[in-house]
């Protein structure tokens, strides 16, 4: 047999072997590829081992709303929907765009109250603020849009009392406030926070209300903010912001070392809607599943 013939035989046998091997393997079920993750925005989870608190939030949130989940050491889960105040709503859209930061933050908190899980900022105005504010509501919304005012911390207090949301007023000692807020956030409870002119941080020209949700691994506040604002400072962060400000930074731009008069019990209802240097500070909010939604007078916090 010539070398050429021998090579032809070897090639034919090799082809037959390959065909047999392919046939044998093809009889087995092909491995199923891993199911790709559902399309969407990547999320970040922060975990505080000391207090056993987990915070899950979108890495990017330049959308109409962003969902944040916090689970504290007692196993209580809070679902926060951070609303964009300029998203456009069925009603009060112009007001929300201009003055809606505190209403959006209030809506986020109230959605954890039984029966209010689907609350939206415009409904927070028409169904809650209108009823509780009374004449102050009529006065505010009878003004031109430019002169209308946002809900104050005093207004938030009135709403929390009506809907059984426990809260604590700021410490009377300014030196205790940083520790107070830090401990609160580390335990998984939110803080409704209003600061004043933050020109150094490009955050607000007058007053602005945000919701503090927790503290990240590096000690920075995780903040729910209804504005896609200040890209030069915050970068591409949208409704959920972190990595820029500590609790001390937040307090430094409140610019009010004394008690916040709008939180005082003697404040009258005319301050339900207001914008003034005195309307700066915070309310420490604590959810308690054992507190009925309609109970009033819950300013003393409960563990």
Tell me which of 250 and 156 has the higher pLDDT. Answer: 156
* Cα–Cα dist 47/65, whole Å: 23
Tell me which of 146 and 233 has the higher pLDDT. Answer: 146
77-81, 169-173, 294-298: which is most confident: 77-81
**What pLDDT is attached to residue 288?**
56
| pLDDT of 27 over the 50 cut | no
* Cα–Cα dist 21/171, whole Å: 78
* Cα–Cα dist 21/279, whole Å: 79
Tell me which of 29 and 149 has the higher pLDDT. Answer: 149
Handedness of CA 150, 222, 162, 171 (dihedral sign): negative
Reported confidence tier of residue 191, pLDDT bands at 50, 70, 90: very high
Count of C-beta atoms within a 10 Å radius of residue 2: 7
pLDDT tens for each residue of 113-166: 999 999 999 999 999 999 999 999 999 999 999 899 999 999 999 999 999 999
Q: Are 228 and 60 in contact (CB under 8 A)?
A: no
* Phi, psi for residue 160 in degrees, rounded to 5: -60, -40
Nearest to 79 by CA among 114, 51, 103: 114
Reported confidence tier of residue 67, pLDDT bands at 50, 70, 90: very high
Q: Which two tokens stand for residue 191?
A: 């803080």
Reported confidence tier of residue 29, pLDDT bands at 50, 70, 90: very low
User: Going edge to edge, which strands form the sheet with 167-168?
Assistant: 167-168, 281-285, 191-195, 208-215, 221-224, 240-241
**Residues composing the chain:** 303
Reported confidence tier of residue 87, pLDDT bands at 50, 70, 90: very high
pLDDT tens for each residue of 88-102: 999 999 999 999 999
* Cα–Cα dist 46/68, whole Å: 11
| pLDDT of 33 over the 50 cut | no
Domain ranges of the chain: 43-285
Tell me which of 221 and 25 has the higher pLDDT. Answer: 221
Q: Are 265 and 161 in contact (CB under 8 A)?
A: no
Q: What is the mean pLDDT of residues 251-263?
A: 63
Comparing 6-10, 223-227, 252-256, the range with the smallest average pLDDT is: 6-10
CATH architecture of 43-285: Alpha-Beta Complex (3.90)
For the whole model, what pTM was predicted?
Answer: 0.78
**What pLDDT is attached to residue 261?**
54
The mean of the pLDDT values for the chain is 77
Q: What is the mean pLDDT of residues 168-178?
A: 88
**What pLDDT is attached to residue 277?**
60
Tell me which of 203 and 276 has the higher pLDDT. Answer: 276
| pLDDT of 234 over the 50 cut | yes
Nearest to 170 by CA among 147, 155, 153, 158: 153
| Helical segments of the chain, H only | 3-26, 93-99, 101-110, 121-123, 130-133, 135-141, 153-163, 177-186, 231-234, 247-252
User: Going edge to edge, which strands form the sheet with 53-58?
Assistant: 43-48, 53-58, 65-71, 77-83
């Amino acid at each position: 047999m010539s070398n050429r013939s021998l090579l032809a035989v070897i090639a034919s046998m090799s082809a037959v072997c390959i065909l047999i091997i392919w046939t044998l393997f093809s009889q087995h079920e092909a491995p199923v590829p891993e199911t790709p993750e559902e399309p969407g925005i990547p999320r970040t989870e922060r975990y505080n081992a000391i207090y056993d608190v987990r915070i899950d939030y979108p890495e990017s949130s330049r959308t109409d709303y962003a969902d944040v989940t916090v689970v504290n050491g007692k196993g209580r889960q809070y679902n926060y929907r951070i609303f964009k105040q300029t998203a456009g709503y069925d009603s009060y859209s112009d007001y929300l765009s201009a003055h809606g930061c505190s209403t959006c933050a209030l809506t986020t908190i109230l959605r954890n109250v039984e029966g209010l899980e689907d609350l939206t900022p415009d409904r927070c105005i028409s169904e809650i603020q209108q009823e509780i504010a009374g004449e102050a509501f009529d006065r505010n919304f009878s003004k031109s849009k430019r002169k209308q005012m946002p809900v104050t911390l005093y207004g938030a207090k009135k709403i929390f009392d009506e809907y059984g949301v426990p809260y604590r007023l700021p410490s009377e000692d300014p030196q205790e406030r940083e520790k107070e807020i830090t401990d609160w956030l580390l335990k998984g409870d939110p803080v409704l926070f209003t600061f004043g002119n933050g020109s150094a941080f490009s955050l607000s020209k007058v007053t602005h209300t945000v919701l503090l949700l927790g503290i990240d691994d590096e000690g920075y506040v995780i903040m729910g903010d209804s504005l896609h604002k200040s890209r030069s400072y915050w970068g591409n962060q949208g409704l959920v912001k972190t990595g820029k400000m500590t609790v001390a930074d937040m307090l430094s731009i409140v610019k009010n070392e004394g008690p916040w008069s709008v939180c005082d019990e003697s404040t009258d209802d005319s301050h339900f809607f207001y914008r003034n240097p005195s309307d700066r500070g915070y309310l420490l909010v604590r959810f308690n599943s054992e507190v009925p939604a309609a109970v009033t007078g819950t300013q003393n916090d409960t563990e």
